[in-house]
Structure 1
Amino acid sequence: MTLRLIPYLVMDGNAKEAIQFYEKALDAQVLFSQSFGEMPENPEFPIPKGTKDRISHATLKIGETELMLSDTFPGQPHQSGTQVTICITTNEKEKATKFYEALQEGGQVGMPLQETFFSPAYGSVTDKFGVNFQIFTEGEQMNF
């Protein structure tokens, strides 16, 4: 089993700029970057014109550490104080479910744990202490 806690920054439309900044400032290497326009289309969540270049997910390697970041989904509010989350990454769906269920006790679900195009089990929750977590399960071809 793998288990990692990765800082995840949620930006307000300036993730590309942040990536370029961290490349220079921290010698970061871009391991993965995908815009909203590169994602599979979903009629339930159409991407507004002019926002397809926003970053839906990126992973940077800084030394021995990874940093993940994205822009907010177009049309979603961005609130200072919630832009840093902890991404709990595992390769076991059962562990992801266990962590998700434990963290939601007394907390608030942001996104139910579910299969997505990028993960066999992904969800988000704010625990009872106000800490935001993303639960990400790696799939065989889904290493970001």
Structure 2
Amino acid sequence: MSYGESFRASYDRCNIDEDFLTFFLQHFCSTNPRFAERFCGVDSEQQTKMLKASIILVQNAAENPYIRNNVKSLAKRHKEMNLNIKPEELVAWRESLLATVANFDPLFDDDIDQAWRATLELGIEIMSKHAID
């Protein structure tokens, strides 16, 4: 099975819903107090929609050049908003996402971990290039 196929199967098993996104956000915010501050005062429904969209956007960048431009635009918006994203924060985002996948995908193993990493790599690279000062 290719990384793309493994990723899609895992993504489907995770059933990316409010429980998944809430777990992810809690894990992510626990890794750095700045993250919790950024999400303070943001409606939880809006947060989960935004998080789901960002996950979908970053993962689709691997297969679609048009989506890569959307990721680039998202990165530039983050920069324009003066979020001061640091490289280690993108790593924390990825690792929090993978910890969440490990919790929600009953078949999670090293191969699925690698499939997610490979699928997210280009999107995170674009974010790194355009969101970080």
Using the size of structure 1 for normalisation, the TM-score is 0.28
Higher Cα Rg, which structure: 1
Which structure dedicates a bigger proportion of its chain to strand?
A: 1
Relative contact order (alpha carbons < 8 A, sep ≥ 6): 1 or 2 greater?
A: 2
TM-score (norm 2): 0.29
